[in-house]
Amino acid sequence: MMRRVGNSCALWRAPARRAYATKISDAWYDVVISGGGIVGATVACLLTSQRRLRVALFEPNAHAFLERAGKEDAKHEYGEQKDRNVSLRTSTITVESEAVLQSCGVWQRIPELRRPKVKRMVVWDHTGYSSAALHAASVLNFDASAASRTQQPEYMASVVENETLLSALYSQLRDVQNENSTSAPSCLDIFAEPVRDVMYNPRGDEWPVIQRTPQPLTARVLVATDGRNSNIRKLFSMPWFSFSYEQRAVVANVIVSGDEQKQDKPGASSISSTAFQNFLPTGPIALLPIRHLASGETVMNVVWSTSDTEAMLLQDCTETEFIEELRDALTGPHALDFKSLAAGSQRATFPLVFGHAPQYVNGRVALLGDAAHAVHPLAGQGVNLGLADAASMANRLMCAAECGRDLGGDGGAVLLNYQKDRLLKNVAMIMSIDAVGRIYKTPGPVAAAIRAMGTGIISSAPGIKDRIMRYAMGA
Amino acid sequence: MHPKLHGGSRQSDVEDLHGQGEGRRGKDKMIRSWVAWRHLRSLGQNVRRCSSSPQSPSVDAAEILKFNALSAKWWNTQGHAAFLHRMNPARVAFIRSVIESLLLRKDAPLAVLTDREEDGSGTCLPLHSVSVLDVGCGGGLVAEPLARLGAKVTGIDGAGDAVRVANEHAKMEASLRSRLEYRHATVEQLVQEQRAFDVVTALEIVEHVNQPREFVASCAALVSKKGGLLVLSTINRTPLSYAATILGAEKLTRIIPSGTHDWNRYITPGELGAVVEGLGFTVERVVGLHFNPLSGVFFLSERNLDINYIMVAAWHPR
């Protein structure tokens, strides 16, 4: 069955053999990436790191990203550290994902101040069923330095603004492009447009043809990193299983100053390197350090998952009301003093959905990142799963290229290896995130007892805790 | 795809092949491609009787129809060529590594991505400027990857339709056009034409030719350069190879059609090595190629040569 979209009928009517002839075009790529978000841009960086594959990246906002990458570079040079303007969308980059970004020269482009490290994670739940103060056992303290075993880094993750990460990715891509313009044809082309129209029969040997106004492009492999509402996934009718949590996440940046004296552990990391997470009956609320200010305060990014109605209230209430609500929501083992919202930062909400594609590969088309799996943000793992996908895909493609294989050919053997690498791991992670979310959301004393028991067991058994933490770190 | 259109093109294929068949008659008596041989065998007693009189036009028609049915399957990873597709990454990687280490003298270990010099076309291809002849290229399963790695590849096959399939498949890749050429020819023809290549490969074919000694000699005559390589792969004559290739692959699992292989035609590395050394070559490497049924992947082993093996010999004229 020939799958085609759009309005060009010429190819559809042509006999098979003639269609071949039309498709032979000099505009060919080894890999065409649709969607240049964090995951898509990372795939592009990884694939061009050896300068061997011809890659095209389609991203409607590419011009803006490239421009900002230039500005960002200038900003770093002036050492503008006291910038209180922090963007709302942040990502928690685990140590493993960091290695991926490091391998393609991106991580080094982000100044350390822009990627504060999380050395400790404090997780507790406050459901209101235990009327007394919090049990010590129901507070989980994950301290990276305490659990430092063999070659474990002294931190669990870094928090970075999505904008900063994208700028670093695009400044790397820009450098790859510039470097190429001196030699003959480039190994990377960036198109500031979406992939609109693809003609491809996943069962045939032919390459996907990406329709474009001056000249159609052909690609050995079409990588879809165009987000949870992936257009490519829809074009090829790849199945998608999803449901809505009927929740929204409220994001905001707040300025926090911690009371260092009240810390339960002397010598432990200060709040500026601690991530907090409280499981409320309405959903988890997480607090991540994003920027250290010269005044000693910390700008923290709040991701508050809650019911639709409460989210609307939190979005619309005044700043002082919001701070008050936040104080209530994060009553816990730490005295956190919420000063105000960070300058210039509004609040935003987005709906929480769960989604998973049971099949990541269809012929020469592969889904990566959110196009393949949309997860609850409670563990901050969405971007890390996507980066692991990117690393696996790039690794498989580059190894196959070393043997001269047709990257999308052999019945999709190379791409299916990527699926084999990632599918089970992603499902396991998504399911465990979902399960944690559910057990903390379930009302009633039984669930509360399970939670208390669970956290108690986890806290007292160092082996389990260690394992969970390494899992959270992406290892 | 529209069924009518598809049917139409099939019809014309058959006519094309009749035309080619006329010209081919009598050319490839000595060397039969693996496919041709295999399918004549698998056609059964009836056709086998016919095959003794190749002048009969009915045999040609049967061959052509059979070839035509098969031609689409050369690139089908699930069909008869499934094992060859599985084998391909390992053997291409090996061939690349021997060309790099023995011919180009690059000390690049396999599977390690290293920056290579630009070849001027924007991509730095590892086998740039190496000329390769693939004897018995079939659908181009090895020729294409080698061309993708930068080599200038000529593929020849005694079966005209295999060449046509190879050409058709290569058309899909614009980048291969300048580096890949297929011909319906025999090694003898190329020897007569006094062609010369840096590397000559004859993979999974030696056990299917009638006179392997003469066949290998012809292949060797096409290696021009001092230090040029002859890459031969075939199956060892051991009880294990009988169990694996004939009992296992043909009789029990029937992945390969019954009658594909004849155990008596298998050649031991010792015999092949003696032939090759008699031609002024030095055996450089011999590795076994083994199938892991659990992972479905072929892997190389230096120690175990009991079933499939690849022999690499370099020409060192005195």
Which tens digit of pLDDT belongs to each residue from A34-80? 999 999 999 999 998 877 788 999 999 999 999 888 877 666 554 44
Give per-residue pLDDT as tens, A350-371.
888 888 999 999 889 999 999 9
For residue A243, the tally of other CB atoms under 10 A from its CB is 8
Does B93 lie in the same domain as B57? Answer: no
Sorting pLDDT into bands at 50, 70 and 90, what band is A463?
Answer: low
Q: Name the nearest CA neighbour of A290 among A163, A102, A394.
A: A163
How high is the mean pLDDT of chain A?
76
A205–B1 CB contact, under 8 Å: no
Spell out which residues of chain B touch residue A28, defining contact as CB-CB under 8 Å.
173-175
Exposure string (b/e) for A136-169, b if CB count within 10 Å is 16 or more? eebbbbbbbeebeeeebeebbbbbbbebbbbbbb
Rg over alpha carbons for chain B, rounded to the nearest Å, is 19
Return the amino acid letter for A231: N
Q: Is the pLDDT confidence value at A7 over 80?
A: no
Question: Which chain A residue has the Cα nearest residue B150?
Answer: A404
Q: Which residues pair with B135 in a beta bridge?
A: B156, B202
Cβ distance B311 to B229 under 8 Å? no
- CATH code matching the domain that covers A88-161+244-352+439-472, chosen among 3.10.450.230, 3.40.50.2300, 3.30.9.10, 2.40.37.10: 3.30.9.10
B136 is in an annotated binding site: yes
pLDDT above 90 coverage of chain A, percent:
18
Interface ipTM > 0.85 = no
A404–B122 CB contact, under 8 Å: no
B144–A404 CB contact, under 8 Å: yes
Give per-residue pLDDT as tens, A79-115.
444 566 778 888 889 888 999 999 988 999 988 888 8
Does B35 lie in the same domain as B62? Answer: yes
Q: Can you tell me the distance from the alpha carbon of A284 to that of A269, in angstroms, rounded to the nearest whole number? A: 23
CB pairs under 8 A between A and B: 96
Q: Can you tell me the distance from the alpha carbon of A221 to that of B148, in angstroms, rounded to the nearest whole number? A: 15
Beta strand pairing call for A120-125 and A139-143: antiparallel
Largest CA distance in chain B: 62
Looking up tokens 């690049």 gives B108
Interface list for A 164-203 with B (CB within 8 A): 180, 183-187, 201
Q: Can you tell me the distance from the alpha carbon of B258 to that of B248, in angstroms, rounded to the nearest whole number? A: 10
> Pick the residue with more confidence: A79 or A130?
A79
Helix (H) or strand (E) holding A79: none
Domain positions in chain A: 3-73+163-240+357-433, 88-161+244-352+439-472
Spell out which residues of chain B touch residue A15, defining contact as CB-CB under 8 Å.
5, 8-9
A406–B173 CB contact, under 8 Å: yes
Spell out which residues of chain B touch residue A20, defining contact as CB-CB under 8 Å.
168, 171-172
Give B262 to chain A, closest Cα distance, Å.
28
B171–A20 CB contact, under 8 Å: yes
Q: Based on the structure, what is the number of domains in chain B?
A: 2
A402–B113 CB contact, under 8 Å: yes
Does B292 lie in the same domain as B204? Answer: yes
B188 is in an annotated binding site: no
Does B101 lie in the same domain as B29? Answer: no
Does B81 lie in the same domain as B34? Answer: no
Interface test with A, best of B12, B112, B123, B144 (most A CBs within 10 A): B123
Does B92 lie in the same domain as B138? Answer: yes
The most confident of A2-11, A26-35, B61-70, B113-122, by mean pLDDT: A26-35
Sorting pLDDT into bands at 50, 70 and 90, what band is B60?
Answer: very low
> Pick the residue with more confidence: B17 or A268?
A268
Q: Can you tell me the distance from the alpha carbon of B227 to that of B101, in angstroms, rounded to the nearest whole number? A: 11
Contacts of B46 (CB under 8 A, 6+ apart): none
Q: Is the pLDDT confidence value at B194 over 60?
A: yes
Q: What CATH number did the domain enclosing B145 receive?
A: 3.40.50.150
Per DSSP, the residues of A287-310 read: EEEEEE-TTS-EEEEEEEEEEHHH
Q: CA of A72: how far to CAs of A67, A253, B52, in Å?
A: 9, 20, 78
Spell out which residues of chain B touch residue A53, defining contact as CB-CB under 8 Å.
123
Contacts of B171 (CB under 8 A, 6+ apart): A20, A21, A24
The reported pLDDT for the residue numbered B94 is 92
Q: Which among A15, A24, A398 has the least Cβ separation from residue B174?
A: A24
Q: Which among B113, B122, B173 has the least Cβ separation from residue A185?
A: B122
A400–B89 CB contact, under 8 Å: yes
Does B275 lie in the same domain as B304? Answer: yes
> Pick the residue with more confidence: B132 or A268?
B132
The reported pLDDT for the residue numbered A262 is 44
Q: Is the pLDDT confidence value at A449 over 50?
A: yes
Does B161 lie in the same domain as B52? Answer: no
Does B299 lie in the same domain as B155? Answer: yes
Return the amino acid letter for A135: H
Q: Is the dihedral of CA A455, A459, A461, A467 positive or negative?
A: positive
Spell out which residues of chain A touch residue B117, defining contact as CB-CB under 8 Å.
none
Helix (H) or strand (E) holding A120: strand A120-125
B208 is in an annotated binding site: yes
Looking up tokens 């956290």 gives A455
The reported pLDDT for the residue numbered B197 is 93
| Residue B63, both tokens | 């061959």
| Residue B142, both tokens | 């090895």
Q: Is the pLDDT confidence value at B54 over 70?
A: no
Cβ distance A474 to A98 under 8 Å? no
Q: Which residues pair with A340 in a beta bridge?
A: A255
Exposure string (b/e) for A391-427, b if CB count within 10 Å is 16 or more? bbbbbbbbbbbbbbbbbbbbbbbbbbbbbebbbeebe
A405–B118 CB contact, under 8 Å: no
> Pick the residue with more confidence: B8 or B238?
B238
Cβ distance B129 to B98 under 8 Å? no
Spell out which residues of chain A touch residue B124, defining contact as CB-CB under 8 Å.
51-52
Question: Which chain A residue has the Cα nearest residue B84?
Answer: A410
Exposure string (b/e) for A354-383, b if CB count within 10 Å is 16 or more? bbbbeebbbbbbbbbbbbbbbbbbbbbbbb
Does B216 lie in the same domain as B128? Answer: yes
Contacts of A273 (CB under 8 A, 6+ apart): A116, A117, A118, A119, A120, A155, A289
Q: Name the nearest CA neighbour of B60 among B18, B26, B15.
A: B18
In terms of phi and psi (left: phi > 0; alpha: psi -120 to 50; beta: otherwise), the region of A72 is alpha
Domain covering A3-73+163-240+357-433: architecture: 3-Layer(bba) Sandwich (3.50)
Q: Can you tell me the distance from the alpha carbon of A78 to that of A425, in angstroms, rounded to the nearest whole number? A: 42
Does B271 lie in the same domain as B199? Answer: yes
What domain range includes position B284?
Answer: 75-315
> Pick the residue with more confidence: A185 or A288?
A288
The reported pLDDT for the residue numbered B100 is 87
The most confident of A116-130, A209-223, A423-437, B33-47, by mean pLDDT: A209-223
Looking up tokens 């889904």 gives A367
Q: Can you tell me the distance from the alpha carbon of B204 to that of B290, in angstroms, rounded to the nearest whole number? A: 14
A15–B171 CB contact, under 8 Å: no
Helix (H, G, I), strand (E, B) or coil at A65: helix
Helix (H) or strand (E) holding A3: strand A3-4
Does B125 lie in the same domain as B60? Answer: no
A402–B175 CB contact, under 8 Å: no
Spell out which residues of chain B touch residue A207, defining contact as CB-CB under 8 Å.
172
